[in-house]
Structure 1
Amino acid sequence: MRKVMLPHGEEVPALGLGTWRMGERADQHGREVAALRTALDLGYRLIDTAEMYGEGGAERVIGEALAGALRTGAVAREALFLVSKVYPHHADAQGVQAACERSLQRLGVDSLDLYLLHWRGGVPLAETVAGFERLQQRGLIRRWGVSNFDGDDLAELALLPGGAACSANQVYYSLSQRGVEFDVAPWQRARGMPLIAYSPIDQGALAAHPSLRVLAERHGAQPAQIALAWLFARPGTIAIPKAVREAHLRENLAAADLVLAADELAMLDRLFPPPQRKQPLAIL
């Protein structure tokens, strides 16, 4: 598995498992728990979630899958990198404490490896940072970061006391949504701060792209794997596609080993041109 380095020197997998839209339907609970167990058995070690996903439902699904895997010894807690996110309206100095505790209870773990502010809300950033620092002091989180932050937001955060400790920014980033390459990605790269790409296959749309299919045939791969391989070629980028079917879990893992040639990357630039000017941050 490819690795990406956090600002403090820790290496984490370049491929994780997203869980958006999990935990929303009771009739899918068993299937989703089984998918998480399969992912862990296949070697996934980075799992991304949020208190917003299914209003805690996704965290419960992960918690049930983790409990079984940890109990049987299929995976050790220290081998996992767990990410969750706090709602903006829970992100004041005290509210973030309670929100994190609830997430930990649902996940069935003692601490998070990375805790993100899901998007910027009305709570002053300085207060959220203070809350994150308190969580670190209590041992409930190891690192903290942000999500859906544009360039101006990151610059403002960096000037706050403690703001430079931000470890990652999670944004919508894919072949079709390259706006962050103009300013956000370079800013983060200069500071050694990874960019976590959510919806890297455009919620499945890129898996049916005819031009990607042509390129995929050269590699004996699937179009979605080409979209992921392109992201893995971007420095300091972590991709967190959601997958429930075992075939898709395996395909995404295999994409981490897929290397695109320079002419193929140039072809993708022609199909999906990089930004030439500042663009609004893409958000789902």
Structure 2
Amino acid sequence: MKTVTISGKNVPAIGIGTWHMGDDPAKETQEIEAIRAGIDAGAKVVDTAEMYGSGNSEILVGKALAPYERDDIFLISKVLPSNASKAKMEQHLDASLERLNTDYLDLYLYHWRGGTPLSETINELERLKQTGKIRAWGVSNFDVADLEELWDLPVGKNAAANEDLYNIETRGIEYDLTAWQAKHDLPLIAYSPVGGLHNELKTTMLENKVVQEIATAHGVSAHALLLAWVIRDGKTIAIPQSSKAQHVTNNVKAADIELSEDELRRLDKEYPQPDHKVPLAIN
């Protein structure tokens, strides 16, 4: 199983995303079973945020994780830009911890950039790390210019990860961001690794003939094959979301798929690498 080292911990490269989960009480049991199925299949990383359902996702995650040893899970949540100030962040972190029924986060991410000066946000994240309420902090939806600004801050290099949208159909970050992060030993967390839930444009990934042929050759679904592609470099964690237990189990098993150089070339031909800078994709 492919793994990635993040904040000093070695974790499976396929985690569990929870965006759009926790909002429908009728689906609670099914969604809890889905998260637990992923953990039982070997997943360690569970990603949520205070934004998701205005806290409903964190509540769901807290319930789902109740039977497990806390130290066996790498738990991530995120703070909204509007709450990322010295005056507000700790109370919002405390609220997230209460909803998650835990006394610490393994990783706390600044969800995206807002009006608070970056230095203030990062200094507060670093202070909260010293309290023990978070083991590490990172950022999300940052591009190269943002990361360079972060790296220039006195404690900016303490960032443990950057979470961005990334999949075979949306490869813009490969132009310069992935190389920058590799050079600076900053792991990438890929959200929407098989496309977003509410994309306005229909994805072609799952129906692509070459994707399907390679998936068939490996005896896996197109979905699993695309996840294996996202984590191919050994420096990326993918956090697909699903409310179906079997689907989540299959997602986790994608970390066992090894793609050949020929298969990667065929996929590159279908979905070419970027040859110019494009705006950071955000879903």
Tell me, yes or no, whether TM beats 0.5.
Answer: yes
Q: Which residue of 1 aligns with 2:4?
A: 4
Deviations 1:117-151 (A, max 9, x none): 00001011111011111211111000000000011
When structure 1 is superposed on structure 2, of 9-18 and 172-181 the one drifting more is 9-18
Q: Which residue of 2 aligns with 1:225?
A: 224
Among 105, 109, 113, the alignment partner of 2:106 is 113
- Determine the C-alpha separation between the residues in 2 that align with 1:263 and 1:111: 44
Q: Which residue of 2 aligns with 1:278?
A: 277
- 2:132 equivalent to 1:139: yes
Deviations 1:128-182 (A, max 9, x none): 0111112111110000000000110000011012111111000000000111111
Q: Which residue of 1 aligns with 2:78?
A: 85
Q: Report if the CA contact (8 A) 1:15-1:256 is conserved.
A: yes
Q: Counterpart amino acid of 2:278?
A: Q
1:208-219 equivalent positions in 2, closer than 5 A:
208-219=207-218
- Determine the C-alpha separation between the residues in 2 that align with 1:94 and 1:159: 23
Give the TM-score taking structure 1 as reference length: 0.94
Q: Report if the CA contact (8 A) 2:14-2:254 is conserved.
A: no
Q: Counterpart amino acid of 1:193?
A: L
Structure 1 residue 236: deviation in Å?
0.8
Aligned-partner SS, 2:132: coil
When structure 1 is superposed on structure 2, of 234-243 and 108-117 the one drifting more is 234-243
Deviations 1:5-32 (A, max 9, x none): 23x5432221100000011222222221
- 2:27 equivalent to 1:28: yes
Structure 1 residue 235: deviation in Å?
3.6
Q: Counterpart amino acid of 1:244?
A: S
Deviations 1:190-221 (A, max 9, x none): 01110000000013743333331122111111
Q: Which residue of 2 aligns with 1:171?
A: 164
Q: Which residue of 2 aligns with 1:259?
A: 258
Unaligned residue ranges in structure 1 (runs of 5+) = 70-74
- Determine the C-alpha separation between the residues in 1 that align with 2:10 and 2:248: 22
- Determine the C-alpha separation between the residues in 1 that align with 2:212 and 2:36: 30
- Determine the C-alpha separation between the residues in 1 that align with 2:210 and 2:266: 10
Structure 1 residue 247: deviation in Å?
2.0
- 2:90 equivalent to 1:97: yes
Structure 1 residue 240: deviation in Å?
0.4
Give the TM-score taking structure 2 as reference length: 0.94
Structure 1 residue 42: deviation in Å?
2.3
Deviations 1:235-273 (A, max 9, x none): 411100012212211211221111111110000110000
Structure 1 residue 107: deviation in Å?
0.3
When structure 1 is superposed on structure 2, of 222-231 and 32-41 the one drifting more is 32-41
Higher RCO structure, 1 or 2 (CA under 8 Å, sep 6+): 2
Q: Report if the CA contact (8 A) 2:150-2:157 is conserved.
A: yes
Q: Counterpart amino acid of 2:4?
A: V
- Determine the C-alpha separation between the residues in 2 that align with 1:87 and 1:60: 17
Q: Counterpart amino acid of 1:78?
A: D
Deviations 1:34-58 (A, max 9, x none): 2222222222211000000010000
Structure 1 residue 33: deviation in Å?
1.7
- 2:183 equivalent to 1:184: no
Q: Report if the CA contact (8 A) 2:37-2:246 is conserved.
A: no
- Determine the C-alpha separation between the residues in 2 that align with 1:36 and 1:247: 10
Q: Counterpart amino acid of 2:95?
A: R
Q: Counterpart amino acid of 2:281?
A: A
Aligned-partner SS, 1:202: coil
- 2:241 equivalent to 1:242: yes
CA RMSD of aligned residues (A): 1.3
Q: Report if the CA contact (8 A) 2:77-2:109 is conserved.
A: yes
